[in-house]
Amino acid sequence: MKFFIDTADLTEIRSLAGSGLLDGVTTNPSLIAKNGGVFAKVIAEICEIIPGPVSAEVAGTEYDQIMAEAKVLRKIAGNVCIKVPLTPDGLRACKHLSNDGTMVNVTLCFSAAQALLAAKSGASFISPFVGRVDDIGWDGMQLISDIVDIYNNYDFKTEVLVASVRGPNHVIEAAKMGAHVATLPPAVLRSLFNHPLTDKGLATFLADWAKTGQSIV
Ligand code: E4P
């Protein structure tokens, strides 16, 4: 399973890049607004830090505008992935961009039917938002399961990118279902390391090692 990081915070991205666990980055207009900075410059810097796909979302909603913005964004770096909304115009742009060899992430997916449309439009990634589905009392992970099943029935190349992840359980459940990618807020990625028995065991080992009076180097 690939891990993307869901942030536009350059400090976080730099710090987590050293973990060797990051395969890509997703941003969205809210994350860009939260972190500040000039959009194109922020994306360029992220693309330099992380060689994998870096999603940059268009602000246009009509086909011509989406295509014009995509043309600008994809010039920023070879690893920019154009993020388009799951709308008729967004999917039309997805089809054209994908045919030209541009990576496209279709965002704001909340149903299996929408995911099917995105795959037929040649998307590189489909982003179902599990946390937001859970928030309205539906089952976000059931959505992932449905999409993985549907994609497995056909020869779609579209990767399932689990988005709006709120905690480790979303990641584990998605991995069990065989989702290709999860995009994680930095805090969720860090939380995956945690287990109280690891902390307790390490404390015991260190205390016992100190008793030996030895050093390895
Ligand atoms: C995905 O690409 C989105 O940026 C993100 O996962 C949305 O998550 P949220 O529901 O926590 O805003």
* pLDDT of amino acid 141: 98
Q: How far apart are alpha carbons 122 and 198 in whole angstroms? A: 43
Relative orientation angle of helices 88-99 and 63-74, to the nearest 10 degrees: 40
* pLDDT of amino acid 155: 84
CATH architecture observed for domain 2-212: Alpha-Beta Barrel (3.20)
The maximal CA–CA distance of the chain, rounded, in angstroms, is: 71
Residues with beta carbon inside 6 Å of ligand 1? 6, 26, 28, 107, 127, 129, 131-132, 163-164, 183
Pocket test for ligand 1, best of 4, 25, 27, 28 (most atoms within 8 A of CB): 28
> Who's near 120: CB < 8 A, 6+ residues apart?
156
Q: Are 77 and 70 in contact (CB under 8 A)?
A: no
The pTM is what?
Answer: 0.96
- Å from CA of 128 to ligand 1 middle: 9
* List of the chain residues with pLDDT < 70: none
Relative orientation angle of helices 39-49 and 10-17, to the nearest 10 degrees: 10
* pLDDT of amino acid 11: 96
Q: Are 49 and 12 in contact (CB under 8 A)?
A: no
